[in-house]
Chains A and B, each alone.
Chain A
């Protein structure tokens, strides 16, 4: 994509966001200057965003970062992290975290499977000792309860 294309894409998505946020605040009372209501600032902000986004789409230039980039590992990381959030209460901190670490090392950083399993489990245990035992953060025990 060209530098102009990226600016237009960014600007147009933000105009959609501005419209959505205006609609989401449409039911809130604006109030008066004497007593500004909860809908006052959201509307002003939605309008400001629309104007700025239009300006960006019209005149902006967004240069790409130099070098090759890869999308697959980024999506993989986000998916694995979301899975952690979904499984945490069910399985408990230790197994979920060990699985996430092993998954990240193996799939994203291509660490050999045996080494990933070893380091991942050890690191999960270390984090549990640090946060639960030392810092007193309460994390779900799940299966190990």
Chain B
């Protein structure tokens, strides 16, 4: 199937009433959680995982993806009108977006954010449709040695490109891998780190970890801070002027390109993409001197970047089975619960899922553009929702979601424990995402590592003699040490 046939096939899948309904539901929920600070797409998807158990897997994947890219639209609304980023990926939009709003150009800023998101999002979908099958074809040649090194590279990149310094992030990767070893060893059948607890023999379920780390921990952070409710600026006229539009187009193009590339990398994702796009504008934009004082480029570039990144993050997930961020890890978990294993065979074996999800993003982006601008007033009303109502509901839903995995109260206790752990770790300067990704990749990583060594009859140089594995290993080492070497070099001038 050529990418064109594929997209056409996907479009037919995406417009089936059931799928269309879940796509719309996904983007609406996504926009709402995007608007609300303190409730992110990762927590929302974790909360909705139990609801997808009985759903058709294509519909589930369509809805969960909709929540992710929908939240990128919603995040900019709060950034512009309240100067509070609804999502971390809209952080830099606050500077110029809110400055525009203060000067009575809130409507224009919202329209530019939505249009830039739409343009970058839809072009990124085309890119995804073209790139993903190619990557999938290359990955068909991967054996255990290549997969082990690919996952190693992914884990290093997560630590390197994520927020904050690298040592704490690497610690979280190692902790995640350790948690993944809990349970029965698949080869020997021996128990590891179970401390005689029956429930741990099958390993630690991912869902309670997600719910604890992203749901419970987020509410705990909100309670601890007790911030006053934000006040939005009035929206005003929606359409950007001709000059504003002229400045926005090249900025959105630059931002979209940067976002697409960074979104593919594990640990990159929407937040890093938006910051990189903003920094690029500071260097290359025609109006770079006005950046930070309400420049259109400062809205168009990061919003285009975060949407393109939210789309291209599906490339490694759908073709290699490797999630690039916490949200992708949860979509991977949802697909695994339905017995689907994303990887190079997905394009040929599950064309409905692969192309259906990609095409549904077209539909979803269009719906977001049409819905977002007229409904912006309605979404802003969500900010009036008292946290005294939202907080308890999030906590209870986390408990129900964890309990529903196996029907044991122990899973709910696990979610509470991971909530406390996530909260404590964050206070000590550790971000949860590297741990979650390592936990998801831990088992396949160990299996690939052990298989590769067995196949090579104990020859550990197999990772250096197979060309693709060697390149991946070199990239991982380089990603780890290159910044240290650059820092060590004495500066001139």
Instruction: Report which A residues bind B (CB closer than 8 A).
Output: 6-7, 9-10, 14, 21, 24-25, 28-29, 32-38, 40-42, 45-46, 48-49, 52-53, 55-56, 59-60, 62-63, 65, 67, 69-71, 73-74, 77-78, 81-82, 84-86, 88-89, 97, 100-101, 104-105, 108-111, 119-120, 123-124, 127, 131, 135-139
Top 8 nearest A-B pairs (CB, nearest first) are A34-B458, A62-B429, A38-B185, A109-B388, A33-B458, A10-B428, A104-B392, A85-B412
Question: B392 touches which one: A14, A45, A86, A109 (CB < 8 A)?
Answer: A109
The stretch that binds A, out of B16-24, B169-177, B289-297, B482-490, is: B169-177
Question: A82 touches which one: B174, B187, B223, B416 (CB < 8 A)?
Answer: B416
A-B contact pairs, 8 of them (CB 8 A): A7-B429, A25-B192, A81-B399, A82-B416, A85-B399, A100-B399, A109-B388, A110-B388
Q: Is the CB of A84 within 8 A of B399?
A: yes
Question: A127 touches which one: B400, B413, B460 (CB < 8 A)?
Answer: B400
B54 contacts across to A, CB distance below 8 A: 135-136
Interface string of B153-195 (1 = CB under 8 A from A): 0000000000001011011001101100100010110101101
Question: A36 touches which one: B403, B416, B453 (CB < 8 A)?
Answer: B453
Distance from A49 Cβ to chain B, minimum over Cβ atoms (Å): 5
The answer to whether residues A78 and B185 also contact, given A85-B413, A100-B396, A135-B54 and a CB cut-off of 8 A, is no
Q: Is the CB of B409 within 8 A of A88?
A: yes
Tell me, in angstroms, the Cα distance from A119 to B463 when the chains sit together: 60
A89 contacts across to B, CB distance below 8 A: 409
Chain B interface main SS type: helix
Q: Is the CB of B188 within 8 A of A21?
A: no
Q: Is the CB of A55 within 8 A of B409?
A: no
A48 contacts across to B, CB distance below 8 A: 174
B5 contacts across to A, CB distance below 8 A: none
Tell me, in angstroms, the Cα distance from A52 to B222 when the chains sit together: 30
Interface string of B377-395 (1 = CB under 8 A from A): 0000000000111011101
Tell me, in angstroms, the Cα distance from A136 to B168 when the chains sit together: 41
The answer to whether residues A41 and B449 also contact, given A101-B392, A135-B51, A139-B403 and a CB cut-off of 8 A, is yes
Q: Is the CB of B404 within 8 A of A137?
A: yes
Q: Is the CB of B399 within 8 A of A35?
A: no
Q: Is the CB of B167 within 8 A of A127?
A: no
Q: Is the CB of A32 within 8 A of B458?
A: yes
Tell me, in angstroms, the Cα distance from A9 to B454 when the chains sit together: 41
Q: Is the CB of A42 within 8 A of B389?
A: no
A69 contacts across to B, CB distance below 8 A: 224-225
The answer to whether residues A37 and B188 also contact, given A62-B429, A109-B392, A123-B393 and a CB cut-off of 8 A, is yes
Is B244 interfacial (CB 8 A cutoff)? no
Is B427 interfacial (CB 8 A cutoff)? yes
Q: Is the CB of B178 within 8 A of A49?
A: yes
Q: Which of A24, A38, A82 has the most CB of B within 10 A?
A: A38
The answer to whether residues A14 and B416 also contact, given A42-B178, A108-B223, A109-B391 and a CB cut-off of 8 A, is no
Q: Which of B224, B389, B453 has the most CB of A within 10 A?
A: B224
What residue in chain A is nearest B392 (Cβ atoms)? A104
Q: Is the CB of B423 within 8 A of A33?
A: no
Is B338 interfacial (CB 8 A cutoff)? no
Q: Is the CB of B224 within 8 A of A74?
A: yes
B133 contacts across to A, CB distance below 8 A: none
B143 contacts across to A, CB distance below 8 A: none
The answer to whether residues A52 and B174 also contact, given A36-B449, A67-B225 and a CB cut-off of 8 A, is yes
A82 contacts across to B, CB distance below 8 A: 413, 416
Instruction: Report which B residues bind A (CB closer than 8 A).
Output: 50-51, 53-54, 165, 167-168, 170-171, 174-175, 177-178, 181, 185, 187-188, 190, 192-193, 195, 216, 219-220, 223-226, 387-389, 391-393, 395-397, 399-400, 403-404, 407, 409-410, 412-413, 416, 419-420, 423, 427-430, 446, 449-450, 453-454, 457-460
What residue in chain A is nearest B181 (Cβ atoms)? A42
Q: Is the CB of A38 within 8 A of B188?
A: yes
Q: Is the CB of A138 within 8 A of B392?
A: no
Tell me, in angstroms, the Cα distance from A85 to B399 when the chains sit together: 8
Tell me, in angstroms, the Cα distance from A68 to B195 when the chains sit together: 39
Tell me, in angstroms, the Cα distance from A96 to B449 when the chains sit together: 46
Known: A49-B175, A104-B392. 16 other contacts (CB 8 A): A28-B190, A35-B458, A42-B193, A45-B177, A52-B167, A59-B167, A65-B225, A81-B412, A97-B396, A108-B391, A109-B391, A123-B396, A127-B396, A131-B400, A137-B50, A139-B404
A25 contacts across to B, CB distance below 8 A: 192-193
Q: Is the CB of B192 within 8 A of A88?
A: no
A71 contacts across to B, CB distance below 8 A: 224
Q: Is the CB of B428 within 8 A of A41?
A: no
Q: Is the CB of A49 within 8 A of B171?
A: yes
What residue in chain A is nearest B438 (Cβ atoms)? A45
B216 contacts across to A, CB distance below 8 A: 81
Q: Is the CB of B396 within 8 A of A74?
A: no
Q: Is the CB of B446 within 8 A of A41?
A: yes
Q: Is the CB of A65 within 8 A of B427?
A: yes
What residue in chain A is nearest B393 (Cβ atoms)? A123
A52 contacts across to B, CB distance below 8 A: 167, 170-171, 174
What residue in chain A is nearest B387 (Cβ atoms)? A109
Q: Which of B53, B412, B423 has the most CB of A within 10 A?
A: B412
Tell me, in angstroms, the Cα distance from A82 to B415 when the chains sit together: 10
